């Protein structure tokens, strides 16, 4: 037994992941509502692929099974929600296997991975098949004939992707309502700011995540949007900024441990996202920003250390 103080908590990994799954339900429901059965099938495939990949690789490496902690389920859900609903199934499976086997298990499993697995899967798929990863369809009328269609829409639908640089401070207010509710083309779980807020507020209220990273990320992003002459509401609601702030940037393993470390982490995310959106060739930069700041997390933890209790000052 180590010396005091000791911290006792009723929450284990499985319980924490269960709360995250509950928080992901509103974006998932919104994605299925706007994009149809294809979105639901994609989510199921992602979850099964992640769970199967984790079970298989750990058995191959003769390690104890860890699928009971539900972390693979969370990775699968998040991966599905940051992909377009028209993503081919086999490509989705490849991305999920990459997230679990390479990004998570090759580093030692949960708690030892440096980078966020879901964000890594998105970047991997974007690098391998950019035409499919950046192809989006318009929302489908609920319970219409198109809503039940499960045919790949990449080759038949016209991809819709509006560059954020076009949405200046004086433009874009007509699209804010659609962005808030989710009635717009985009990745399955990133279009509805309302659904994302429901899940994010739930995580904050239950103490699963801390407020420092989302608040710093979103607050500084608004300031940078104003300085860049962007419509701040469109800047926040478009793309994956809201979803990334609540569900990926706050990952326990890949984010800093201390208060000021999390503030610095959120500030870095905001600056990187702005730079990529402003000067990059892609209109979106959230997942890249998250992965870059994941790489800085060990350095932040080494520079900003928590207070040591019981140590006498000289």
pLDDT at 9: 60
Encode pLDDT of 213-257 as tens digits.
Answer: 999 999 999 999 999 888 888 888 888 899 999 999 999 889 998
pLDDT at 232: 87
pLDDT at 150: 59
As a whole-number percent, the residues of the chain with pLDDT over 70 amount to 85
Contacts of 227 (CB under 8 A, 6+ apart): none
Distance CA 267, CA 168 (A): 23
Q: Where does the pLDDT of residue 135 fall: very low under 50, low under 70, confident under 90, or very high at 90 and above?
A: confident
For the cut 70, the answer to whether the pLDDT of residue 82 exceeds it is: yes
Answer whether 270's CB lies under 8 Å from 220's CB.
yes
pLDDT at 53: 94
pLDDT at 45: 95
DSSP three-state, residue 6: coil
For the cut 90, the answer to whether the pLDDT of residue 181 exceeds it is: no
Answer whether 118's CB lies under 8 Å from 253's CB.
no
Question: What integer is the mean pLDDT of 189-200?
Answer: 92
Of residues 269 and 314, the one with the higher pLDDT is 269
Any idea which residue has 């924490």 for tokens? Answer: 16
As given in the structure block, the two tokens for residue 215 are: 């608040």
As a whole-number percent, the residues of the chain with pLDDT over 90 amount to 52
Contacts of 150 (CB under 8 A, 6+ apart): 37, 38, 41
For the cut 90, the answer to whether the pLDDT of residue 203 exceeds it is: yes
pLDDT at 191: 87
pLDDT at 10: 63
Q: Where does the pLDDT of residue 99 fall: very low under 50, low under 70, confident under 90, or very high at 90 and above?
A: very high
Residue 213's closest CA among 297, 141, 101, 119? Answer: 297
As given in the structure block, the two tokens for residue 58 are: 């750990």
Residue 78's closest CA among 246, 217, 210? Answer: 246
The CATH architecture that domain 13-303 belongs to is Orthogonal Bundle (1.10)
> In whole numbers, what is the pLDDT of the chain averaged over residues?
85
As given in the structure block, the two tokens for residue 283 are: 């209109």
For the cut 60, the answer to whether the pLDDT of residue 61 exceeds it is: yes
Encode pLDDT of 257-307 as tens digits.
Answer: 899 999 999 999 999 999 998 888 776 789 999 999 999 999 999 988 777
Lowest mean pLDDT among 143-147, 171-175, 279-283: 171-175
Encode pLDDT of 44-60 as tens digits.
Answer: 999 999 999 999 999 99
Element (H, E) at 12: none
Domain residue ranges in the chain? 13-303
pLDDT at 185: 81
pLDDT at 171: 53
């Amino acid at each position: 037994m180590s010396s005091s103080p000791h911290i006792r908590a009723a929450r284990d990994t499985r319980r924490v992941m269960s709360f995250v799954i509950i928080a992901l339900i509103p974006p998932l429901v919104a994605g299925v509502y706007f994009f149809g059965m294809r979105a639901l099938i994609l989510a199921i495939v992602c979850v099964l692929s992640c769970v199967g990949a984790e079970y298989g690789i750990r058995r191959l490496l003769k390690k104890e099974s860890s699928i009971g902690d539900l972390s693979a389920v969370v990775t699968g859900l998040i991966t599905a929600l940051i992909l377009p609903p028209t993503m081919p199934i086999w490509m989705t499976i490849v991305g999920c296997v990459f997230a679990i086997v390479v990004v998570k298990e090759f580093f030692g499993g949960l708690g030892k991975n440096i980078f966020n697995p879901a964000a890594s899967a998105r970047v991997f798929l974007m690098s391998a098949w950019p035409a499919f990863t950046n192809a989006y369809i318009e929302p489908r009328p609920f319970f219409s004939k198109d809503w039940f269609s499960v045919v790949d829409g990449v080759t038949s639908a016209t991809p819709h992707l509006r560059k954020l640089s076009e949405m200046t401070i004086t433009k874009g207010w007509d699209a804010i309502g659609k962005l808030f509710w989710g009635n717009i083309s985009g990745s399955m779980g990133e279009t509805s700011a309302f659904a994302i807020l429901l899940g994010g507020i739930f995580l904050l209220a239950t103490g699963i995540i801390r407020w420092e990273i989302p608040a710093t990320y979103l607050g500084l992003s608004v300031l940078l949007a104003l300085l860049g002459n962007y419509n701040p509401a469109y800047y926040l609601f478009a793309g994956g900024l809201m979803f990334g702030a609540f569900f990926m940037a706050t990952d326990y393993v890949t984010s800093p441990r201390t208060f000021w470390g999390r503030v610095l982490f959120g500030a870095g995310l905001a600056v990187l996202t702005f730079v990529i959106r402003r000067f990059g060739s892609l209109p979106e930069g959230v997942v890249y920003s998250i992965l870059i700041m994941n790489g800085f997390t060990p350095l932040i933890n080494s520079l900003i250390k928590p207070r040591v209790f019981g140590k006498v000052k000289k």
